[in-house]
């Protein structure tokens, strides 16, 4: 019962945070306050937030691809070394969920790319 209360409390907190974040005016978040002049004086890189987010998303996608490859190899090894026992089912399950995860990641990437192409 305690775990269920904690879960509902966390869900309420996330919903409240989501709605309160929408109340902050966007122009206050995007205001520069003279930072561009300081950036050019300090000779800092001029990458924007979307560029950093794109780099992060690319890195996350590469990491998830590596994890997918590892899970496929791991599931195959489990299947091959099981000698026909319970490991075959376990290996198939690992490979199946790895493929499902890769499909979900691919669909999320495609949808995100489509949305950005539509709006830019």
Instruction: Give pLDDT, residue 73.
Output: 94
Residue 62 falls in which region: left (phi positive, over 0), alpha (psi -120 to 50) or beta: alpha
Instruction: Give pLDDT, residue 90.
Output: 92
Global model pTM greater than 0.85: no
Q: Which residues contact 88 (CB under 8 A, 6 or more apart)?
A: 79, 82
pLDDT by position in tens, the chain (length 120): 556 666 677 777 777 676 666 666 655 656 666 667 777 778 877 777 777 887 888 888 888 989 999 999 999 999 999 888 888 999 999 999 999 999 999 998 888 888 878 877
Q: Which residues contact 71 (CB under 8 A, 6 or more apart)?
A: 94, 95, 97, 98, 101
């Amino acid at each position: 019962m305690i775990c269920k209360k904690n879960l509902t409390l966390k869900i309420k907190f996330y919903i409240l945070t989501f709605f309160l974040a929408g109340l902050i005016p966007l122009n206050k978040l995007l205001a520069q306050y003279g930072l561009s002049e300081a950036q050019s004086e300090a000779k800092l890189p001029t990458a924007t937030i979307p560029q950093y987010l794109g780099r992060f998303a690319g890195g996350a996608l590469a990491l998830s691809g590596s994890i997918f490859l590892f899970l496929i190899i791991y599931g195959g090894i489990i299947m091959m070394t099981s000698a026909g026992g319970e490991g075959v089912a376990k290996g198939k399950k690992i490979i199946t969920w790895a493929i499902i995860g890769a499909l979900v990641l691919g669909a999320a990437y495609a949808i995100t790319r489509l949305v950005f192409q539509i709006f830019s």
